[in-house]
């Protein structure tokens, strides 16, 4: 870990935990990681990867059945108004085995590929965001994924078949006073004296599905371990049965959007968990969480891309139909620009999401950077495009779907989509945290080569590091300026206009690598405190990556004789160039220092809010479980009521 005198002791402790939990080994070259080192390798994205025919057929069949069920049973507008997923929807999800989409066949699941899993999630989201979020939280970060990746054979045999039968899971990480800094976690897991079990105590906030979950993955602090003479906090992961004594739901949280999700505040009081329910190993909880999220994060960009695709299709029809001042809305220059942005953005978001799904299905590729980028990029762009569509549609965008239907208007749930979409920039790692994560990974090659110069290493180690760094940078840095003479023919297979865009992106990739290096040299260890600077560097990398993917997909379509999207792709590429230019300009011309000074002044004169307390909350009865054997809605406290119609 690099020393930084600007850090507080708490920041040092948090960074130590985060660094210890990082995946340090790369099992493959990363397309996006390479961009930050000045290497745009077009071979990694072209031809653009397509889903295998056999796997596509499996997905087509399941999506057809899910779509037929959803058309009849899944009323997203009604679910949003009631703030409740009705019993017949829970039953349908279970009968279709959608709670076991990623569970292997051997354990009774559907064994879907990542691509097909994302296709089903996106399809369900088109009908109801709350239902899609319920499925995603259960499968992407809930019990099935960690067990699939790290569970012992005994754990898999004990728990995975339950999801095929309809059991629901949740992920419990966040706490009332702990968000993006898990090192500050207060929930504890203490080993029993006889070593047979752990005793968990604490509270978990914003636990999606927690109100109705049968099983939870709970992150908790286990006893500290001494590293280099200092205690280091250990976070471990446990599978907890929700009916274990001491597990209490004390509040169901209500939100702006996704109003029907069963998200709650969970209290753990002397909860005894068998030692066999520890997942991976003691102290490996955050490593498990980060590895799980590599694939788990891909659900959000897939859903975002699919929703914007549907939105683009509707808005194109509406912009053609709605007339103002004697012309179609989409024919006016302001309307044309908005319509072009929505459609081009949908194409770019799909290219990024589909590429990540293909990487995941390969199974031999390290996609931590790509997954975080997709989550960040699609959630932010999607939000901007939904807002743009609402502005283009005007009052009809702000009006609810049910109200539009009642007036006989062509309806689209744009108002509900806007509310549901906003959480994407927050959940499963905020986009701000994604930028910090990506910045750390972008810096990793440099820290590996020169990091010892800024740490506690001895003089001999520092001199050896200096010699190796000089040898590497002596060859690497000049190539960033002379790269125009290398790989001249790598774009020969591309259409002339697409090749022109890729050559520009290649030049900008080398400029990006130089910029990051210059920032490191100029700021030294203080660079980690320049979060806005790092964010701009990350955003440039994301823009260049998506530009390359858009060009690769467009060319692959041209290779198949398809030219439908070439104008869409070209518009996106030209717009991206403007954004990259603005980001480079902002690196040198910004108000970062002024913002920090103003915020400091404002906080010095403000009164702090009182500390959070949930002591006054009493446990809630668990609700809305579905007994498939009777078809009835079974409340967790034992009462049985008829299923909702």
> pLDDT of 440-467, one tens digit each?
999 999 988 887 777 667 777 877 878 8
pLDDT at 4: 56
Is pLDDT above 70 for 11?
Answer: no
pLDDT at 524: 86
> How far are the Cα atoms of 292, 301, 379, 538, 636 from residue 382, in angstroms, in the given order?
24, 9, 5, 18, 37
> pLDDT of 361-371, one tens digit each?
998 888 999 99
Is pLDDT above 80 for 629?
Answer: no
Are the CB atoms for 88 and 111 separated by under 8 Å?
Answer: no
User: Do 382 and 437 lie in a common domain?
Assistant: no
> pLDDT of 289-320, one tens digit each?
888 888 788 999 999 999 999 999 999 999 99
In the DSSP assignment, the letter for residue 178 is B
Closest CA to 213 of 280, 253, 266, 283: 266
Question: Helix, strand, or coil here: 580?
Answer: helix
Strand partners for 641: 633
> How far are the Cα atoms of 451, 474, 634, 644 from residue 637, in angstroms, in the given order?
56, 69, 8, 18
Is pLDDT above 90 for 19?
Answer: no
User: Do 441 and 422 lie in a common domain?
Assistant: no
Are the CB atoms for 63 and 123 separated by under 8 Å?
Answer: yes
Question: Could you tell me if residue 610 is inside a domain?
Answer: no
Question: Helix, strand, or coil here: 644?
Answer: coil
Residue 461 CB partners (closer than 8 Å, separation 6+): 452
Question: Helix, strand, or coil here: 267?
Answer: strand
User: Do 416 and 439 lie in a common domain?
Assistant: no
Mean pLDDT of 195-219: 96
Mean pLDDT of 168-190: 88
Question: Could you tell me if residue 352 is inside a domain?
Answer: yes
Residue 611 CB partners (closer than 8 Å, separation 6+): 177
User: Do 366 and 438 lie in a common domain?
Assistant: no
**Structural tokens at position 219:** 């992150």
Q: Among residues 396, 429, 462, which one ends one of the domains?
A: 429
> How far are the Cα atoms of 93, 428, 429, 619 from residue 255, in angstroms, in the given order?
23, 16, 18, 20
Mean pLDDT of 344-353: 98
User: Do 327 and 402 lie in a common domain?
Assistant: yes
> pLDDT of 518-528, one tens digit each?
999 898 888 98
User: Do 443 and 413 lie in a common domain?
Assistant: no
Is pLDDT above 70 for 273?
Answer: yes
User: Do 439 and 497 lie in a common domain?
Assistant: yes
Distance CA 640, CA 629 (A): 13
Binned at pLDDT 50, 70 and 90, residue 21 comes out as: low
Is pLDDT above 90 for 512?
Answer: yes
Question: Helix, strand, or coil here: 205?
Answer: strand
Binned at pLDDT 50, 70 and 90, residue 24 comes out as: low
Question: Could you tell me if residue 229 is inside a domain?
Answer: no
Q: Domain with 412 in it: what CATH number?
A: 1.20.140.10
Catalytic hit among 428, 441, 575, 623: 428
User: Do 383 and 461 lie in a common domain?
Assistant: no
Are the CB atoms for 306 and 125 separated by under 8 Å?
Answer: yes
Half-sphere exposure of 620 (CA within 13 A, CB side): 18
428 annotated active-site: yes
Is pLDDT above 70 for 132?
Answer: yes
- Domain enclosing residue 575, as ranges: 9-47+433-590
> pLDDT of 34-85, one tens digit each?
999 999 999 999 999 999 999 999 999 999 999 999 999 999 999 999 999 9
Number of independent structural domains in the chain = 2
User: Do 380 and 497 lie in a common domain?
Assistant: no
Chain-wide mean pLDDT for the chain? Answer: 90
Distance CA 100, CA 429 (A): 24
């Amino acid at each position: 870990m690099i020393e930084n005198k600007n850090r507080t002791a708490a920041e040092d402790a948090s960074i130590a935990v985060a660094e210890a939990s990082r995946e340090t080994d790369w099992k493959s070259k990363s397309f996006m990681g390479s961009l930050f080192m000045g290497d745009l390798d077009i071979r990694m994205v072209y031809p653009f990867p397509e889903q295998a025919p056999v796997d596509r057929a499996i997905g087509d069949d399941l999506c057809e059945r899910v779509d037929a069920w959803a058309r009849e049973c899944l009323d997203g507008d009604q679910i949003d108004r009631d703030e409740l997923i009705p019993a017949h929807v829970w039953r349908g999800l279970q009968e279709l085995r959608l709670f076991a989409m990623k569970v292997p066949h051997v354990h009774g699941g559907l064994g879907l590929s990542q691509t097909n899993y994302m296709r089903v999630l996106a399809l369900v989201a088109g009908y109801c965001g709350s239902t899609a979020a319920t499925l995603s939280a259960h499968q992407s970060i809930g019990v099935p994924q960690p067990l699939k990746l790290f569970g012992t054979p005994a754990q898999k045999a004990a728990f995975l078949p339950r999801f095929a039968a309809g059991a629901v899971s949740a992920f419990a990480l966040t706490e009332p006073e702990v968000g993006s800094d898990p090192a500050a976690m207060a929930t504890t897991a203490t080993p029993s004296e006889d070593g047979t079990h752990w005793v968990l105590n604490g509270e978990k906030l914003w636990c999606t599905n927690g109100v109705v979950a049968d099983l939870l993955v709970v992150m908790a602090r286990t006893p500290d371990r001494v590293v280099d003479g200092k205690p280091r906090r250990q976070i471990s992961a446990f599978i907890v049965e929700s009916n274990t004594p001491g597990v209490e739901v004390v509040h169901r949280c209500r939100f702006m959007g996704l109003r029907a999700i069963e998200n709650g505040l969970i209290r753990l009081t002397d909860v005894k968990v068998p030692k066999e329910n520890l997942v991976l190993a003691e102290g490996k909880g955050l490593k498990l969480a980060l590895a799980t999220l590599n694939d788990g994060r891909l659900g959000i960009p897939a859903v975002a891309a699919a929703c914007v695709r549907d939105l683009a299709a509707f808005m194109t029809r509406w912009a053609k139909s709605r007339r103002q001042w004697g012309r179609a809305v989409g024919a006016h220059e302001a309307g044309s620009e908005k319509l072009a942005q929505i459609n081009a953005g949908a194409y770019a978001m799909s290219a990024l999401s589909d590429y990540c799904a293909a990487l995941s299905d390969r199974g031999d590729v390290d996609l931590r950077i790509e997954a975080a980028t997709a989550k960040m990029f699609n959630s932010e762009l999607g939000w901007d495009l939904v807002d743009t569509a609402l502005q283009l549609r005007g009052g009809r965008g702000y009006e609810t779907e049910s109200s539009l239907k009642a007036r006989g208007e062509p309806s689209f749930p744009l108002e509900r989509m806007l509310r549901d979409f906003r959480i994407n920039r927050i959940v499963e790692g905020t986009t701000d945290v994604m930028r910090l994560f990506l910045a750390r990974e972008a810096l990793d090659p440099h820290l590996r080569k020169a990091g010892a110069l800024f740490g506690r290493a001895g003089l001999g180690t520092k001199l050896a590091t200096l010699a190796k760094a000089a040898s590497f940078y002596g060859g690497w840095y000049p190539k960033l300026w002379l790269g125009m003479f290398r790989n001249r023919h790598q774009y020969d297979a591309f259409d002339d206009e697409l090749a022109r865009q890729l050559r520009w992106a290649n030049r900008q990739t080398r400029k990006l690598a130089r910029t990051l290096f210059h920032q490191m040299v100029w700021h030294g260890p203080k660079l980690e405190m320049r979060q806005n600077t790092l964010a701009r560097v990350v955003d440039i990398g994301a823009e260049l990556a998506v530009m390359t993917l858009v060009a690769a997909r467009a060319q692959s379509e041209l290779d198949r004789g398809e030219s439908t999207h070439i104008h869409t792709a070209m518009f996106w590429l030209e717009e991206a160039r403007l954004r990259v230019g603005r980001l480079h300009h902002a690196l040198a011309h910004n108000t970062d220092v002024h913002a920090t000074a103003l915020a400091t002044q404002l906080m010095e004169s403000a009164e702090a809010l009182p500390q959070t307390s949930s002591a006054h909350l009493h446990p809630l009865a668990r609700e809305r479980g579905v007994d498939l054997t009777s078809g009835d809605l079974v409340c967790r406290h034992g009462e049985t009521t008829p299923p909702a119609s």
